Each structure stands twice: as structure tokens, then as C-alpha cells.
């Protein structure tokens, strides 16, 4: 559900569906986001999440190991599965404090393979890092990042609830009064500071988060201060009405320069100066509209100080 507009809802099958009128009419907003149906019972979307900071960011995970992201409310989807294991994706989630940070959890035992069950990305899926650390080798079925305390995470596993107070570096059991029961879902009601969980065969429980310790360390720096998240539409037709846009994530307010470079490394358009606010920025690509470059492949490059990021795009 959209965090500000309850009439906007998302639903997953093998693709993502969206309604903007509370469910009276649904339309498909994605292609097949699974690995494709070869006759098995898999190939379905198992989890969806909408960012509370930027509701245009929507995440989808599947039971055949795929994770996709849209940064424009479902209009365009990007596969960000690289770096994640080929396992059932049980949950995707967006961080309540940092727009660039997202999470994915996996089911399945490790079968003597060194695979984690909880992953975090600080650049919207360009790279992933495992944060399972001392969690037991069990499927993780649910995940919640505490919106009242930065760095405090909860996971529901096949053996109860575990909590981290230090961004996933260390985990501790929260099973007193609960037992080692499979936890299948969890939700934090931040207004009342309550964690509510649902179990497999042993009812539902709640925990008052205000009773927990609040000694949480400082938020770590993201892996990059600048991220070129997406360019859309792709490919871009210079004769098409509506123009071209880029989603650029910035850790802090900063000036940047946008340039278009051919595959030989030559700048082929005048540079475009922009100011990026902290968070996710939607920037019109005026350099494409003004110059109308010849059809082909190019690199769209964003530079701020000594940091540069680029993405390959196609012009029709």
C-alpha cells in the first residue's frame, strides 16, 4: 500500500498489478519479473514493498530468486538480483531512514553452502552485503526495520524472533515467552511502538518496543555518496513527447554535472549543471532534448567533485 494514499495498492502474481482507486480497477505495471514458467509451481511474486520515504520506490521479490526495483511507481522495473543467492525471496523492505537502503531476506537451508539469509543494499540494489552474521542457519521468513530506532532490525525465522541493535552486525534471540516457533510475518506499528508477529500454529504476539534498549550506534556511511539509479524511458526516442528523466540519489545536497558520452569516450553534448538534494532526485535530461543525439548507445555520466557514476543508455 502507498504510505500516503491508501487508494494506491500493489498486488503480485508473476507480474505486478496496481490500482489507484482502492481496487475497483487493476492494471499490470510490469513484465514477468520471475525466471519464467517451465511447468513448476514456482515463478510467482512472493513479496512487495513500497518505500515510506519515496513512495515511487517499489520492490518486488519472487520465489525463484529474483528481486526487481521500480523508482517511478511501477512504470519501469530493473533487475537487482545480482549479488543475492538463488533462493526463495521471503521479504523485501525499504529502510525508514535512508532512501538508498533496502533489504531482502531468503528462505531455504544452506546445504553446507556459505549463503546468508539477510541482505542489505545501501545503493538501491546496485550492490548487496550479507548481514546475517551470527544468526542461526535457518530460513528467514519476515523482516522489519524499526522506524523508531535507526539500526534496529527484527527477523522472523523458523526458530522464532531475533533482533539486531547495530545494523545487523550482531543478533540476539527474542524468544522468551515465545519459544522456537516458526514466525511467518511481522509488522511494526510505529505510533504505538509495537512489534506484532504471526506464527505458524501458535497464534499472534506483540512486543512493546519502548521496553527495549535504545543504545543504537550511529548510522554508517552509505557505500556511495552518489548513485545513478535509473534513466527512463529506455530506450529513449528523441521524437517522443514527454522527454527523458533520470533518478539520481545523493547522500547530501551537492552540485553535479551531467554529460552524455559516446562509447569512444567523447563528450557529445553540452554539460548540464544541476543541484542534487539529499535523497532521491528526479532530473529531466535537458541535454538529450536540446541536442537530439544520433541513434546508438551512450553513457550518461553524473559527476560531483571526485565522484562519478554512469549508466549505459540507448537512443533511438
Q: What is the pLDDT of residue 109?
A: 60
More confident residue, 286 or 180: 180
More confident residue, 149 or 234: 149
Q: Rounded CA gap, 123 and 224, in Å?
A: 7
Q: What is the pLDDT of residue 167?
A: 92
Whether the CB-CB separation of 108 and 159 falls below 8 Å is answered with no
Q: What is the pLDDT of residue 217?
A: 47
Measuring CA to CA, which residue among 162, 106, 112 is closest to residue 139?
A: 106
- pTM beyond 0.85: the answer is no
Burial pattern 162-179, b for ≥16 Cβ within 10 A else e, equals bbbbebbeebeebeeebe
For 241-252, what is the mean pLDDT? 79
User: What confidence tens digit (pLDDT) does each residue in 62-76 have?
Assistant: 998 999 999 888 989
* Least confident among 106-110, 149-153, 277-281: 106-110
Q: What is the pLDDT of residue 226?
A: 82
Burial class of residue 293 in the structure, from the number of CB atoms within 10 Å of its CB (0-12 exposed, 13-18 middle, 19+ buried) = middle
Domain 9-211, architecture per CATH: 7 Propeller (2.130)
Q: State the average pLDDT for the chain.
A: 85
Q: What is the pLDDT of residue 52?
A: 86
Delimit the domains of the chain by residue range: 9-211, 226-315
Inform me whether the pLDDT recorded for 278 exceeds 90. Answer: no
226-315 belongs to CATH 3.40.50.360: no
For 212-216, what is the mean pLDDT? 56
Inform me whether the pLDDT recorded for 216 exceeds 60. Answer: no
More confident residue, 2 or 155: 155
Q: What is the pLDDT of residue 189?
A: 86
Amino acid at each position: 500500500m502507498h504510505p500516503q494514499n491508501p487508494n494506491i495498492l500493489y498486488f503480485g502474481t508473476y507480474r505486478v498489478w496496481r490500482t489507484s482507486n482502492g481496487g475497483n480497477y487493476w492494471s499490470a505495471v510490469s513484465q514477468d519479473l520471475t525466471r519464467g514458467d517451465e511447468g513448476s509451481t514456482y515463478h510467482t511474486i512472493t513479496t512487495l514493498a513500497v518505500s515510506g520515504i519515496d513512495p515511487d520506490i517499489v520492490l518486488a521479490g519472487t520465489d525463484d530468486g529474483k528481486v526487481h526495483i521500480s523508482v517511478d511507481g511501477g512504470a519501469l522495473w530493473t533487475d537487482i538480483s545480482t549479488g543475492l543467492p538463488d533462493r526463495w525471496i521471503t521479504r523485501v523492505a525499504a529502510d525508514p531512514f535512508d532512501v538508498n537502503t533496502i533489504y531482502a531476506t531468503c528462505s531455504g537451508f544452506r546445504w553446507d553452502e556459505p549463503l546468508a539469509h539477510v541482505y542489505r543494499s545501501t545503493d538501491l540494489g546496485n550492490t548487496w552485503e550479507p548481514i546475517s552474521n551470527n544468526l542461526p542457519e535457518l530460513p528467514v521468513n519476515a523482516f522489519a526495520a524499526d522506524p523508531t530506532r535507526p539500526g534496529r532490525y527484527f527477523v522472523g525465522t523458523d526458530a522464532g524472533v531475533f533482533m539486531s541493535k547495530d545494523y545487523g552486525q550482531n543478533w540476539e534471540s527474542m524468544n522468551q515467552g515465545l519459544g522456537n516457533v516458526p514466525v511467518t510475518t511481522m509488522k511494526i506499528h510505529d505510533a504505538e511502538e509495537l512489534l506484532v508477529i504471526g506464527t505458524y500454529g501458535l497464534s499472534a504476539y506483540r512486543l512493546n518496543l519502548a521496553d527495549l534498549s535504545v543504545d543504537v550506534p550511529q548510522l554508517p556511511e552509505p557505500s556511495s555518496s552518489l548513485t545513478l539509479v535509473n534513466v527512463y524511458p529506455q530506450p529513449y526516442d528523441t521524437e517522443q513527447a514527454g522527454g527523458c528523466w533520470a533518478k539520481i540519489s545523493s547522500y547530501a545536497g551537492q552540485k553535479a554535472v551531467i554529460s552524455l558520452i559516446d562509447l569512444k569516450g567523447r563528450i557529445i553534448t553540452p554539460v548540464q549543471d544541476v543541484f542534487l538534494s539529499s535523497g532521491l532526485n528526479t532530473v529531466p535530461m535537458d541535454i538529450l532534448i536540446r541536442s537530439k543525439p544520433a541513434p546508438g548507445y551512450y553513457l550518461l555520466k553524473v559527476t560531483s567533485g571526485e565522484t562519478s557514476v554512469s549508466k549505459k543508455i540507448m537512443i533511438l
